[in-house]
Structure 1
């Protein structure tokens, strides 16, 4: 077998380094005993991570982000479950148009979407900016992710199980509770986690719509204006990166548990 690196393989490796290399520098410099992210490193320290525990502004922003992300994940998934069932089971006319419309928040640039929602909230609805307006915008961008995960799970269902349940005398509600819901549970858990991650990490919409209450990404961005806060923000960014990566892996685990064993690409 030839051990030479093919040009395409080399390009792929180079692209991965270019894409993820800067991401790996943040954890490296977060342990640096110095104020600047430069080489050579001045020494190893955990003080930046320890200092986060006493940072009241960061803890308040973390609380805001967790509260919004939990609410958004539950609301977006709750809306998406019946929508996914309707689109996969009954296939109403215009399903493609409905899906395209729901996916618009993913296509429109975040800054355009944020400005549009800001104008609607302030000028037309007269709603004061707060974490609630952030949550409402996050629900709109999370529903397409949730719907995609749930529809892919429901498409793999054996419909004869639901038909058998009804033949045995169960009504539609009990069939959903005893048959559909347990089978869809891996997709629902995956949807909850993906929506949580999306909301927790989202910056642009939160920046426009949060008002005086900052979420964690907005707080991090604001602190980057101060050079002496850089090491602490690198530690915070590293913590968010690790947390988000773990949740993505967990969501993928639940998604794969819900995929039938004969699905291609999941062996």
Structure 2
């Protein structure tokens, strides 16, 4: 039997350290008791059944779906044109512009959230879902640009040149030649940015006001021990949904890369 190298052993231990706590979440969501500890008292689906009767939970879920959908569409729309400009053209301040777009990835979330709260209040925009959408669009934009840059990187520019030679205008070429080829990248961007927005807590906590998103609702529930089993069940469903979305996004990303080769 072949022995594992030091790097392989490290990778396995790292993955175990990273994902075992996450896997315990769905395990304890089926626990018949309210105490999160071994041994498990019994197995039940009661905590999942109770989720359907939580009106506040359903309202926060709707809020997260609205915010995630709008933020994903806005960030992908802006990211599409930004990625095309960064890949295709050379212009003054290009590197600086790319750095500004990627800045939300390295700035602490609480700094971004508090700054946006002050900014929005100063211009008369109270904490609301609109404020959360704007904040999540800023946060999701770097993810969108990164994904769409990879979609444009290997794009064959001769296809657009051929369309121009045949008399197509800029917008017609973009709509009929460029977009169909990068559609998998666009779909991948929408799915990833939706997931980023749906799972985000800090910005939503500062900007949501009286309309909490789902992560804010979950945070409000974990302070009460009696609500912990329901929170674990809800977290398990969110974990499953996030994994499915990311898998689909990766499939579209690979399809986009294969299409451009």
Normalised by the shorter chain, which TM-score bucket? over 0.9
After superposing the two structures, state which structure 1 stretch, 218-227 or 84-93, moved more. 84-93
Residues 1:262 and 1:179: Cα distance change in structure 2 (over 3 Å): closer
Q: Is the contact made by 2:68 and 2:194 (CA closer than 8 Å) also made in structure 1?
A: yes
Question: Unaligned regions of 5+ residues in structure 2, if any?
Answer: none
- Please list the CA deviations of residues 159-178 of structure 1 after superposition, one character each: whole Å capped at 9, or x if unmatched: 00000001011111111111
Q: Is the contact made by 2:75 and 2:137 (CA closer than 8 Å) also made in structure 1?
A: yes
Alignment partner of 1:250 is 2:235: no
**Counterpart position of 2:19:** 20
**Counterpart position of 1:226:** 224
RMSD: 1.3
**Counterpart position of 2:73:** 74
Question: Unaligned regions of 5+ residues in structure 1, if any?
Answer: none
**SS of alignment partner, residue 260 of structure 1:** helix
Residue 261 of structure 1: how far off its partner (Å): 6.8
Give matches, 1:1-267, under 5 Å: 2-122=1-121, 124-260=122-258
Q: Is the contact made by 1:27 and 1:234 (CA closer than 8 Å) also made in structure 2?
A: yes
| 1: CA distance, partners of 2:118 / 2:220 | 23
TM-score by length of 1: 0.95
Q: Is the contact made by 1:156 and 1:260 (CA closer than 8 Å) also made in structure 2?
A: no
| 2: CA distance, partners of 1:209 / 1:244 | 23
**SS of alignment partner, residue 183 of structure 2:** helix
Give every structure 1 segment of 4 or more consecutive aligned residues whose post-TM-superposition deviation is greater than 6 Å: none
**SS of alignment partner, residue 257 of structure 2:** coil
Residue 9 of structure 1: how far off its partner (Å): 2.4
Aligned residues: 261
- Please list the CA deviations of residues 86-139 of structure 1 after superposition, one character each: whole Å capped at 9, or x if unmatched: 2222222221110001111111000111111111112x2121110110110000
TM-score by length of 2: 0.97
| 2: CA distance, partners of 1:184 / 1:190 | 10
Residue 15 of structure 1: how far off its partner (Å): 1.5
Residue 14 of structure 1: how far off its partner (Å): 1.6
